[in-house]
A and B are shown apart, each in its own frame.
Chain A
Amino acid sequence: MVGNYIYTITKKEKLSDTIYLMDIKAPRVAKNCYPGQFVIVKIDEKGERIPLTICDYDREAGTVSIVFQAIGSSTQLMSQYEVGEAFRDFTGPLGHRSELIDMPREELSKLKILFVAGGVGAAPVYPQVKWMKENGYDVDCIIGARNKSLIILEDSMKNFVKNLYITTDDGSYGFKGNVNDCIKDLVHNQGKHYDLVIAIGPMIMMKFVCILTKELGIRTIVSMNPVMVDGTGMCGACRLTIGNEVKFACVDGPEFDGHLVNFDEAMKRLQMYKTEEGKVVLRQKEGATHHHPGCECHEE
C-alpha cells in the first residue's frame, strides 16, 4: 500500500463474508463506461492484471464500482485495501457494452426480459437492470446463490426490477433450488413468458441456464469471464469457441449468445492456472510452515 498511485478507493462495503464492493476514482473510465463492460485492476507493482465487470459508475463523481470475491491470492490482497488507499492501475472501459443499450427502443420495449444473476454475477447484472429501469423498461430478475450469505445487492436491485426472485440451493433464503429450478417454476408454474434471458454468473451456471433456455426456446445472453492478461486483444488467453468461430472475450465480448458458447472448453481453459494460483495462496498463507511432502511448492 505504497507508491504514488492515483486510483483511490472512495468507498468500501462488505457485501458478504468474502464479497466486497469498492468505488474507485477513475474519471476517464467513469466518463465513458456502460453496463456490460469491464475494467482491469492491478493492485501494485508486482500484481496481476485482474479483470472485473463494472458494477456501477458515477460520471459526475468520476468513480466506478467494482465487486469481487476474495478467493484467489490477488483478490484477498485487494480486500485488505481501505478507503483512502489506492491501486496502481485501473484500466477501462473494456469490451463491448450490453447490446440492450444499442437496441432500437421500439424493439426493446416489446421484449420481456429475465435477468439471472448467480453469486457475484449479481454485480454485472446490477448496472443493466438499473439502466433498463432508468430508460423506462420493466424487467424481472433472479438472484441465486448456494446459501443466504452469498446473496448480494438484493436491496439495490429491488429499486430497479419489477419482480425480484431470490433462490438458494439450500433453501436458506427465498426459493429453494438453483436458478434453473427457479426459471422452470416461473415459466411452468407461474405462467411467465420471456423473450430474452441475460444470465451472468459462474460458467457452470451459465452453461446449465443455456441448456434449459434452449429447450424453452428463449434467446440467452451470457457474460464470459475467462483468463485474461492484457484485456485489449493482445494475448488471446481469453479465446472462446462461439459457434464455429474463435472469439476473444476481451474485444469481441464479454457478452455472447449463450447458445453458441462452447462452455465445456471454456471451463477447461478456466482451470489452466488453478494449480499455479493455489501454489501462490499456499505460499502466502502457510509460508515456511507449509511442509507437505511432495507438494510442488518445494520443487524450486
Chain B
Amino acid sequence: MDILKKVPVREQDPKVRANNFEEVCYGYNLEEAMQEASRCIQCKNPKCVGGCPVSIDIPGFIKEITDNNIEEAFQVISKYSSLPAVCGRVCPQETQCEERCIRGIKGEAVSIGKLERFAADWAREHNIVPEPPKEKNGKKVAVIGAGPAGLTCAGDLAKLGYDVTIFEALHEPGGVLVYGIPEFRLPKDTVVKKEIENVISLGVKIETNVIIGKSITIDELMEEEGFQAIFIGSGAGLPKFMGIPGENANGVFSANEYLTRSNLMKAFDKEYDTPIIAGKKVAVVGGGNVAMDAARTALRLGAEVYIVYRRGEAELPARVEEVHHAKEEGIIFKLLTNPKEILVNENGWVSGMRCVEMELGEPDESGRRKPVEKKDSEFVLDLDTVIMSLGTSPNPLISTTTKGLETNRHKCIIAEEETGITSREGVYAGGDAVTGAATVILAMGAGKAAAAGIDKYLKSR
C-alpha cells in the first residue's frame, strides 16, 4: 500500500451506471476503511476539525475505525452530526476537512468523507441508533423545514431535552436531500429515510404538509400553539430563469422541476404516477452541483446531454468529483458558451438553442474572470429539452407573513452567523434561507449554531 495515496473507493462502471439510478459509489468495506483510517496520523492539533462546519471530532472517530470499534466511531460522529451517511456522500470534503489534512501536504489527504460514510452505513446496517436524550425539559420549539438545517437543529435540540416539532411543506421530510439530490448520489430509502428516522428516534416530531405562512403563521405557532422558540430553515427553493426569449416554451424546465419530478416524485420509476419528459437531446444551462445532478438524471433517462456554461472548466462551481463522474458517464461539456435564445417550433416545443461563444476577460466583483462574448461566434445547438440550473433564492412566504422579521435585498432572512438570532425575539434562522443557495453541510452548521443559540435563549428566560 502506498501510504501517500488514498485507499481507492469502488464505483459502479460508468457505462453501466449511465443507464440506472443505483448509487455510483459503493463506499469502503471494513478492511478498506481500517486501512484508510490507519493513514490518519492523529494530529495533536487537528486542522481537519476546523474545516468542518459542525466540528466533528475527526481524529477521534477515525481512531475508533482503526481499532475496529465501528459502533463507537458512529457514536463519536453522532455527537456532532445527525446526518453522517448523508454528509459522507455529499459534503465537499476536498474544500473542508480534507483540504486541511496534514497528509495532504505530501500526498493525498485522508479520505475523511468516505470514512464517515463507512461508519454511518455500518451503524445503519447493524441497526445502531444514536443515544436518545436522558431528560426532557418540556419546552416546545418549532423548526420550519425538514431539510439539512432543520433536521440538524431539531436533532441537537432534542438531545438537549427540548420538545421539538418540525413543520415541512412537502409530503416528505428531507428538503433538498429528497427533492434535489438524485438517488444515484444519495439513496433515499436506505440512507436519507434512515437518518431522518434516527432524528425521530431522538423524540423529534415531524408534521408534513404544513406550509408556514399559509397553513399557519409563525406568530400563530408562538401565540396559539405554545412554541417558545422557532428555527427557520426553509431553504432557498425559488428557481431563477435567464429571461431570454423562448424560455416559456414546452420542454424548458427549471432544474428544480426536473429534479423534483425525478427525485421526490420518483418519475424515473414507472410505478409512480408523476410524468417526466426525458428528452432526447438535452442542454443543462449552468455549472453547479445541481446542474451536474440534472444532467446525469437526464442521461439516465436516455438523453444525450450537454452542460452549457459561460465560464471555463476551472470556474465550474460543481465539485470536481461530480464533474469527473459526469464526464465519465458521457455528459458533453460546452464550456465558455452562453445561451441567447431558445428556439421554438410551430407547436410551441423547444427545437434548439442559439448560443454564443465566450472568452474570459478581467476579473469581476466576484473575483472570477468575467466572461465576454466572442464576436461572430453564434451557433445553434439542436435540442428538444432545456434545463435551467442558474441557482435559487429563498421563498418570501415566511418573511412576508412574520411580523418584525427582517430580510436583505435578496430576500434572505437576516440572522447572526454564530447564533442564528434574527430581528425577531425567539425566532432563529439558518441555512439557505439566510445565505441563499449553498451546501448541505453549511446549512447543517447553521442549524447546529442556532440550536445552541436557542438553548442559550430559553435557558436565560
Contacts and interface: CB of A to CB of B under 8 A. Distances in A.
8 contacts: A49-B274, A92-B214, A230-B170, A236-B257, A239-B241, A268-B347, A271-B348, A272-B250
Given A32-B214, A232-B237, A235-B260, A268 B250 contact: yes
A110 interface: no
Interface in A202-244: 229-230, 232-237, 239-241
B248 A269 contact: yes
Interface in B188-230: 208-211, 214-216
A48 B260 CA distance: 12
B295 to A, nearest CB: 18
B169 A28 contact: no
Nearest to B234: A232
Given A229-B257, A230-B169, 13 more contacts: A73-B273, A93-B214, A93-B215, A232-B237, A234-B238, A234-B395, A237-B253, A237-B254, A251-B397, A271-B250, A272-B277, A277-B275, A280-B273
Contact of A91 (B171, B179, B273, B348): B171
B254 A91 contact: no
A276 B273 CA distance: 10
Given A28-B216, A235-B256, A268-B348, A46 B171 contact: no
B345 to A, nearest CB: 11
A241 B248 contact: yes
Contacts of B266: 46
A246 interface: yes
Interface string B248-266: 1011011011001100011
A90 B171 CA distance: 9
Interface string A14-47: 0000000000000011011000000000100011
A74 interface: yes
Going nearest first, the 5 A-B pairs with the smallest beta carbon separation are: A276-B275, A268-B348, A235-B257, A89-B171, A236-B254
Interface string B381-408: 0000000000000010100000000000
Contacts of A74: 273
Given A91-B211, A268-B347, A269-B250, A229 B265 contact: yes
B169 A48 contact: no
Given A229-B265, A235-B260, A236-B257, A46 B215 contact: no
B254 A235 contact: yes
A300 B278 CA distance: 13
Contacts of A148: none
A94 B215 CA distance: 8
A265 B247 CA distance: 11
Contact of A46 (B169, B209, B272): B272
B270 interface: yes
Contacts of B251: 272
B348 A232 contact: no
B239 interface: yes
B271 interface: yes
Given A48-B273, A73-B273, A246-B248, A233 B261 contact: no
B256 A234 contact: yes
Nearest to B247: A246
Given A48-B265, A49-B265, A272-B277, A94 B211 contact: yes
